[in-house]
Chains A and B, each alone.
Chain A
Amino acid sequence: MTLTFLWTDIMVWLLMVALVAWGYLISRSVQVQRQWRAIFKSSIALVSSIVLLVYLAFALVDSVHFHKAKSSEMVSLLDLAFEHRISATERTYSSPFATHEYAKSLVVKEGVSHQEYLPLKYVTGKGILKPTLIALAVGLGLSFLLIVVHIVWRKRKGWREDIPWKMAYLTLTVLMLIFTWLYLLSFDYHVLGTDKVGGDVLYQSLKSIRTGVLIGILTTLITLPLAIFLGVTAGFFRGWVDDVIQYLYTTLNSIPGVLLIAASVLLMQVIMDNNPQWFETTQERSDVRLLFLVIILGITSWTGLCRLLRAETLKISQVEFVTAAKAFGVGKFTIIRKHIIPNLMHIILISIVLDFSGLVLTEAVLSYIGVGVDPTMHSWGNMINQARLEMAREPMVWWSLFSAFVFMFVLVLAVNLFSDRIQTVLDPKNNA
């Protein structure tokens, strides 16, 4: 087993390092500390941020890849934990917790053929009670441990009781219980059923987390530098620079977003089909496709933020402290760095979080249209796309769609609630 990095792995880990460094830098400012404290005073914000952290953790665990010895196959840490479900492919549909297949099939026994429900191959059918009890014990134990560590840490820092930590502990415990329960039961059952070709739906839903989260955060990585650089330059220098940049984003904006994305993705597909020698494995291929998709999404979605930043920069450059700095002969770049960018931070932060939820939803739509991530890659969009005809079956096969929608809904809802809180606290309009 050797550690290997896919392109998107490298990007996501670099982003994490940058995020931690940035967090450390700004956490020294008293004002920023006060703002974040105000954000987490709301228990909704605290709970949703914990849910977000859990999703992020899954995405990160799924972003550490190993080369299996003597094979070109690549597995992630998440795959290693779920190895028992990857190989456990049934023949076809089975409902959650089923011990037999969902539809009857023809069996010939002693020359007589009749219909019967065949038993599933990888389901032990052992009772649910025992794993549930173990999960309860393990889940409670783990969360208790974490909570104790946190309480000790809080005590050392000196109690500051304005954040509703009790809600956080409760959320943590509930999530911990749910996931240990799902995990332990996954050894004996297909907890969320299997899909058409017998794949485990729980495993697919968990693998999709990485795709959804990565599309959300990596796109931002492309959008931000473009939007900040162009928006601030246009607003600060004005004149012909402003005209050119305005022209650029009006033009890009006037092409309908989905169509521009679809056209770019189609072309990327053609290029990748013409150059099969670029990729050794299908995994690398789907990874590069994800990377391209993220770049395309980034290039098509910076215009909104850029326009906001330009307008705000125009406003800020008129304010007295900037005029004063100019009069003192402070350099232009120092003014931008010290006076303008810090005052744009709230807009940037709000738009990052808002865009994130939009991107997760967009991924599903794009995959449905056929211009999303690679069809071999696990994603909620692909799950929905493959399962959309299952509702028409008699009896209905609902679990694939249901799982994809629930996993997606929880993530998007958490992001939206969190962004609401950020907006309330950081937007100066609301403090008036």
Chain B
Amino acid sequence: MLTYIIKRLLHAIPILIGVNLITFMLFFVVNTPDDMARSHLGAKRVTSEMIESWKADKGYDKPLFINKKAEGVEKITDTLFMQESLKLFSFNFGFSDENRNIGEDIKERMIPSLSIALPIFIISLITNISLALLLVLFRGSALDTSMMIVAVVIMSVSTLFYIIAGQLLFSKIWHLVPISGYASGWEGVKFIILPVIIGVFSGIGAGVRWYRSIFLEQINQDYVRTARAKGLSELRVLFGHVLSNGMLPILTGVVVVIPSLFMGSLIMESFFGIPGLGSYTIDAINAQDFAIVKAMVFLGAVLYIIGLILTDISYTLFDPRVKLGG
């Protein structure tokens, strides 16, 4: 098991390097340090001395990929690319435009993000799978067809609408929950109820359709016919056979997103005033704070890759056919 995990981790390295290269291209090649200096200093007439001093101040005064002035190995190592890559890989994200430590900010904001992303994830998983099983049980009936149309309708409405309508109904008209805000601990429950309900509801259409198609694929298999022929009840067939065999495709789709829950949801957090990573990112985008956006891009990629590795590992746990090593 350990060697398998190490192998998967090694596979992840080239991908991370690729991600790093893409972020570097985006943030330093397309938009060169000179451009950055110009837009930061703001003024129309910026002298080249001012640009040089700004670059030196930020540590951007090195060549991009190859340092022709340096000797030997330093030709490649003493460059902006190496400098920035090493910083990212050691999770040293530097400082934002407002001179706050980005790494510290991220650590602080993970918990609020998780406090709505995790409940949404778990409740959605349970509701969507149970609803899908219900529809598969009554497949072909009027209930199934009408619910599938309802699912398409739910899918076709913009998330923005659910949020705005939800805030209007639950907070403004019925005064059930506060319209936005956040508090830690039990105090905060009243703030997260509405975002969680909206998050679960807006994903129900696509979710139920997906799980239903997975279960329907299983239900036509031979082993299901055998189980029925043995005289098992339809419910036992569903829960004992279809659900457990459907686990594999479900794992592929579900495990990979678990680490990304830390990233939070962009629009949900900004609408509900939750000080998580999603609203952090949006604020950074609006303020054009590239350092934060760069950090979030890298963090998101790392979390996704961890998700991929977890998916592989969960496979080996759930499917006896998958052998380690190979």
Contact = CB atoms under 8 A, between A and B. Distances in A.
Partners in one complex: yes
B160 A274 contact: no
B14 interface: yes
Contact of A416 (B156, B168, B263, B281): B156
A401 B163 CA distance: 12
A417 B285 contact: no
A396 B22 CA distance: 46
Contacts of B164: 384, 388, 391, 401
A36 interface: no
A274 B267 CA distance: 29
B300 interface: yes
Interface of A is mostly: helix
A269 B23 CA distance: 17
A254 B305 contact: yes
Contacts of B301: 254-256
Given A255-B19, A271-B31, A409 B26 contact: no
Given A251-B15, A263-B297, A365-B160, A256 B260 contact: yes
Given A267-B26, A271-B31, A247 B158 contact: no
Contacts of B319: none
B5 interface: no
Interface string A135-147: 0000000000000
A357 B15 contact: no
Interface stretch (A117-125, A166-174, A367-375): A367-375
Contacts of B31: 267, 270-271
Contacts of A255: 19, 22-23, 297, 300-301, 304
Contacts of A388: 160, 164
A361 B158 contact: yes
Contacts of A416: 152, 155-156
Interface string A368-393: 11110000000000001000100110
Interface in B279-326: 281-282, 285-286, 288, 290, 293-294, 296-297, 300-301, 304-305, 308
A251 B18 contact: yes
B38 to A, nearest CB: 7
Contacts of B266: 258, 365, 369
B74 interface: no
B161 A263 contact: no
Contacts of B217: 429
A335 interface: no
Nearest to A362: B158
A417 B152 contact: yes
Given A254-B15, A259-B297, A267-B31, A364 B158 contact: yes
Contacts of B124: none
B108 interface: no
B10 interface: no
A412 interface: yes
Interface in A213-270: 247-248, 250-256, 258-260, 262-264, 266-267, 269-270
B57 to A, nearest CB: 20
Contact of B293 (A262, A269, A271, A391): A262
A9 interface: no
A208 to B, nearest CB: 13
B161 A405 contact: yes
Contact of B39 (A273, A361, A368, A420): A273
A266 B160 contact: no
A407 to B, nearest CB: 11
Interface in B150-166: 152-153, 155-161, 164
A413 interface: yes
B297 A256 contact: yes
Nearest to A414: B156
A415 B141 CA distance: 25
B115 interface: no
A408 interface: yes
21 contacts: A247-B14, A247-B15, A251-B22, A253-B304, A254-B15, A254-B308, A256-B296, A262-B285, A263-B294, A266-B285, A266-B293, A267-B31, A269-B288, A271-B35, A361-B158, A369-B267, A370-B282, A370-B285, A384-B164, A391-B172, A412-B157
Given A254-B308, A420-B152, 17 more contacts: A250-B15, A255-B22, A255-B23, A259-B293, A263-B293, A361-B159, A365-B158, A365-B159, A369-B286, A384-B160, A384-B164, A388-B164, A401-B164, A405-B158, A405-B160, A412-B157, A413-B156
Interface of B: 14-15, 18-19, 22-23, 26-27, 30-31, 35, 38-39, 152-153, 155-161, 164, 167-168, 172, 217, 220, 260, 263, 266-267, 281-282, 285-286, 288, 290, 293-294, 296-297, 300-301, 304-305, 308
A-B pairs with lowest CB-CB distance, top 6: A251-B18, A256-B300, A413-B156, A412-B156, A254-B304, A254-B301
